[in-house]
Amino acid sequence: MNLCDIGTIKDIMAAYGLSFRKEFGQNFLIDGETVARIADSCLCEGTKTVLEIGAGFGALTSELARRFEKVIALEIDRGLIPLLGFTLSGFSNIEIIQADVTKTDLRELLSTDLARGGVSVCANLPYYITTPILLQLLETRLPFDCVCLMVQDEVADRLCAAPGDPEYGSVTAYMNYFGTCTRLFGVPKNRFYPAPKVDSAVIRIDLYKEKPAVPADEQLFFRVIRAAFGQRRKTLPNALSSQFTDISKTELAGAVESCGFSPDIRGERLSCADFVRLSDEIGRRMKNV
């Protein structure tokens, strides 16, 4: 069965009484070459288990199952579960689980697989919920070998941006704390059915085994990033002072300058390591108030 063939997809969906659910971001891949390339992107050394988020019709799931010992495939849509049982019936190494990933404790779900080592994540992410899922994956702090995701083109640009690029934002700086992001290849919208409005790209996030820069106070560091990008047009001291009421603007400006930044710099120029230094300096000054 060709799981990328539009006719096959339509016929089997109809046979199961299903229609494409926009609210779940159901745009299925219909290009075998793209599916194989995404699965290949997950071939990190040591990976035995792949967690797939959003199995859909099962095209990517099957390619992952051909490459890895085990695939755990989550799918929120209850209607698709019996269908996946049919489209993936030829594989004995796939575990299909009906679940909303955002309500799933991934540490618990993957505990056995993490214990034996070698877990990666692969997903053609539903667009409506890309950022929350990405943040969830980072915040679990699980030691994934790699995280390969299909995201909207503009999200890929944002995640891979460098300080000073127009696309660079709080999510970029935050993500850079956990790892690095590489844009692997673009995927035009006509490779999906139904076709979405915009093109996509596959990215790979390589999580740091040891973070290159660690703040003294992580919560303060996250707060500084949020404040710096909260009002992008403002200079960094002004953007910070509108969010920090527990330290004076003079102290904040002093912290910015003592880190070697010009007082009229904007937050979008700072790298993750710069934010670590700045939050440590702000933390020191807050303690002395």
User: Residues in the site for ligand SAM, rule: CB under 6 A?
Assistant: 24-29, 53-57, 59-60, 74-77, 100-102, 124, 126, 129
In the bound complex, what is the minimum distance in angstroms from residue 60's beta carbon to ligand SAM? 4
In the bound complex, what is the minimum distance in angstroms from residue 61's beta carbon to ligand SAM? 7
For ligand SAM, give the closer residue by CB, 29 or 276.
29
187: closest CA among 151, 160, 222, 216? 151
Spatial contact of 55 and 25, defined as CB atoms under 8 Å apart: no
In the bound complex, what is the minimum distance in angstroms from residue 165's beta carbon to ligand SAM? 27
Amino acid of residue 238: N
Distance CA 268, CA 210 (A): 25
223: closest CA among 160, 155, 276? 276
In the bound complex, what is the minimum distance in angstroms from residue 282's beta carbon to ligand SAM? 36
Spatial contact of 121 and 51, defined as CB atoms under 8 Å apart: yes
For ligand SAM, give the closer residue by CB, 73 or 252.
73
For ligand SAM, give the closer residue by CB, 96 or 175.
96
Please name the helix (run of DSSP H) or strand (run of DSSP E) that holds residue 95, with its range, or none.
strand 94-98
Distance CA 126, CA 202 (A): 13
In the bound complex, what is the minimum distance in angstroms from residue 115's beta carbon to ligand SAM? 24
In the bound complex, what is the minimum distance in angstroms from residue 51's beta carbon to ligand SAM? 11
For ligand SAM, give the closer residue by CB, 55 or 161.
55
For ligand SAM, give the closer residue by CB, 16 or 222.
16
In the bound complex, what is the minimum distance in angstroms from residue 126's beta carbon to ligand SAM? 4
Instruction: Tell the residue number behind the tokens 């495939």, with chain if given.
Output: 73
Instruction: Tell the residue number behind the tokens 């990666």, with chain if given.
Output: 120
Extract the tokens encoding 110.
């993957």
Spatial contact of 83 and 18, defined as CB atoms under 8 Å apart: yes
For ligand SAM, give the closer residue by CB, 76 or 156.
76
Could you count the other beta carbons within 10 Å of the beta carbon of residue 259?
A: 18
- Which residue, judged by CB position, is nearest to ligand SAM in the bound state? 54
SS3 content of the chain, % helix, strand, coil (to 5): 45, 15, 35
For ligand SAM, give the closer residue by CB, 28 or 178.
28
DSSP string, 44-56: -TT--EEEEE--T
